[in-house]
Structure 1
């Protein structure tokens, strides 16, 4: 009985000592539909590159949020930038240059976005599966389904039974 009364009095005493908070009524409104860590500028880039790679904005947001929390300069071991792409993977998608260039959001969105486009194709339009394929790699799945060219991983199919290979024979 005494303990709850003591806690109540302590809380009231602390509340009485509190200073009034800052006047937030004059603060500039922040768009409430942004993801945690996202900026309006990043939202614009995501829209632009989702359209460029013909993938859903929601997919691009999921990968960026999962990989870097919208931090373009994020580094984790051998992974670089906004979408945490390996330099070798970016090179496979056409990137030429020092890995540090992958810390530029637009460079990262260009080359990691191409790789994500392939994951989207392999996933048959399923966002959850596209995220999974992006994270784990999809070369063998694309090879087995004769999708190496469509995904941008190779300039020709390697399986003999792929339609494009059958025409070459």
Structure 2
């Protein structure tokens, strides 16, 4: 009887061990297959998100610190001008809130909120679909702002008034005063040495319009597609197509 039990055990134990080994191998193979599937899905996600767009380069959207990129582009553009990089960065903040997909109701595009007519005047010959790209938008926005800075003799509020209302404008509307106030606040927060005073508006007064409630970014009103960090490319391209068709006249002074 003991011999029979021993023979039975000798047969069962190897079989059980083999079963356990087969199960372990199968489990490992399953884990490897799942890992491969997850890796492929991850690669596909990295490839597909964010979606390709001629508007804002994917590399820009994936930049961990886009503000640092924008600052670098600004510094590159102001090198041959008298315009301080801090002023250009403050203008970007007031104009678009550092959102490259922002489009103003009057057709202003991108980080620096430059309208197509101004872009053409400055020599931009590409299509409007490419004008929101940060390196392009900053190049022409800074160029226009540097010209305004020069015409204003380095006076901050006058330069910003000319940037938002046109180089030929000499008066300060309430919007221009609010705009300068916001820019000065941004500069003061950075420790920029401010000089001069904020002018008094001579026209363009609106009931209830004040520095705390007025939306200076996008000059008057703006359309933000998606949200911070999200870009609805289809809507953005459609809006830009409309802008390219509708905006064919120079900016009207005295906004």
TM-score norm. by structure 2 comes to: 0.38
Of the structure 1 ranges 90-99 and 51-60, higher mean CA displacement relative to structure 2 is found in: 51-60
Equivalence for 2:86: 58
| In 1, Cα distance between equivalents of 2:121 and 2:168 | 11
**CA–CA separation in structure 1 for the residues paired with 2:96 and 2:143:** 18
**Structure 1 residues without counterparts, runs of 5 or longer:** 1-36, 142-169
What SS is found at the alignment partner of 1:39? Answer: helix
Contact kept? 2:83, 2:146, Cα under 8 Å: yes
Q: How many residues align?
A: 105
Match of 2:111 among 69, 82, 88: 82
Tell me which residue corresponds to 1:45: 73
Q: Render the CA deviation track for 1:50-81: whole Å, top value 9, x for unaligned.
A: 22444111220121011001112211121101
Q: Do residues 124 (structure 1) and 153 (structure 2) align?
A: yes
What's 2:133 paired with?
Answer: 104
Matches within 5 A, 1:1-80: 39-77=67-105, 78-80=107-109
> Is the contact made by 1:81 and 1:102 (CA closer than 8 Å) also made in structure 2?
yes
Pick from 93, 105, 128: which aligns with 2:122? 93
Q: Gaps (5+ residues) in structure 2?
A: 1-64, 171-255
* Contact 2:162/2:168, CA 8 A, preserved across alignment: no
Q: Which has the larger radius of gyration?
A: 2
CA, structure 1 residues 134+40, in 2 after alignment: closer, same or farther (shift >3 Å)? Answer: same
The DSSP-based 3-state class of the residue aligned with 2:119 is helix
1:31-57, Cα deviation, whole Å (9 max, x unpaired): xxxxxx962222212221222444111
Change in Cα spacing, 1:132 to 1:41, as seen in structure 2 (3 Å) is same
Runs of 4+ aligned structure 1 residues displaced above 4 Å come to: none
